[in-house]
Amino acid sequence: MLVQGYGFVLNRMLNHLKSRITMTQTENTILQPIRSEASRKHYRSYIDIGAADGDTFIPLARLFDTCVAIEPFPPSANKLRGVVNSSGMNNCYVFECALSQAEGEATLFTDFGNDNSILRNGNLRKGPKVRVLTLDRVVRDYKLAEPYLIKIDVQGSEFAVVKGGLDTLKRECAIFSEFWPWGMTQSGYSLSEYLEFFESLGYTLCNLKGEVIVKEKVSKLLRLCEGNKTFTDLLFLKHISG
């Protein structure tokens, strides 16, 4: 992997931030990077956390042995389940629940579309009660095989999700995570602690092309994003030899 200079990496990430702000709902900038990583290495299980209507789930199903979609908003989960069932996608499963660091029940905050979170932030309104599981519970109960490719897009609640997946994340994984500084801080989490959490588990922070981003440069990026409602996607890679 290539360690790049600050100016190059920062400009690329800021350009990506800009593109994420202006994209339409039908565009999906993370689909091709996930497809590229899945073709580079055979990941046996794909876990799409915050799957919404399936725009990053349905197109990728044939690349994995098993695919699991996690979607707490009932209309979206029902729509996705209908597509899976009608298409005969026998390796795909849709779970109508949220993931967090502890199991139970929680109020879903939603825009009554594709943006949903069990942690309140200023953009979302109070919605229905939903079941909450942990990532480790899903992997264990459904005997999902590693290595895992995991996508997380939960409107600022990403840290709560990964805290519930410690056993899973100790194994070989590639994790595509939305990184929305404003949403994460509104949900009560520290941006730097989120990045340090992955570092403590042996992950390398990369851009969506798999190029390493030096930690010190990310700190500068965080300061630039402070108080800003822009967002981007990050890739955390962990490879275990043997």
Question: 125: closest CA among 111, 115, 135?
Answer: 111
- Our count of domains for the chain comes to 1
Task: Check residue 25 and give its pLDDT.
Answer: 34
Domain-embedded: residue 1: no
Q: List all residues 6 or more positions away from 24 whose beta carbon is below 8 Å from its beta carbon.
A: none
Asked if residue 18 has pLDDT above 50, the reply is no
Mean pLDDT, range 194-204, rounded to an integer: 93
Query: CA of 81: how far to CAs of 74, 87, 196, in Å?
Result: 10, 10, 36
List the domain range (segments joined by +) for residue 140.
Answer: 6-21+30-238
pLDDT digits (tens, 9 = 90+) for 79-127: 999 999 998 999 999 999 999 999 999 888 776 665 666 666 666 677 7
Could you count the other beta carbons within 10 Å of the beta carbon of residue 51?
26
User: What 3-state class would DSSP assign to 141?
Assistant: helix
Q: Note the pTM of the prediction, 2 decimals.
A: 0.83
Within the chain, strands assigned E span 45-49, 66-70, 92-95, 98-99, 104-110, 116-117, 125-133, 148-152, 173-179, 204-206, 232-238
Asked if residue 43 has pLDDT above 90, the reply is yes
Q: Is the dihedral of CA 49, 151, 220, 19 positive or negative?
A: negative
Task: Check residue 108 and give its pLDDT.
Answer: 80
Domain-embedded: residue 122: yes
Average pLDDT, the chain: 82
Domain-embedded: residue 79: yes
Higher pLDDT, 19 or 192: 192
| DSSP letter (8 states) at residue 63 | G
Tell me the CATH number at 205: 3.40.50.150
72-81: buried (b, 16+ CB within 10 Å) or exposed (e) per residue?
Answer: bbeebbebbb
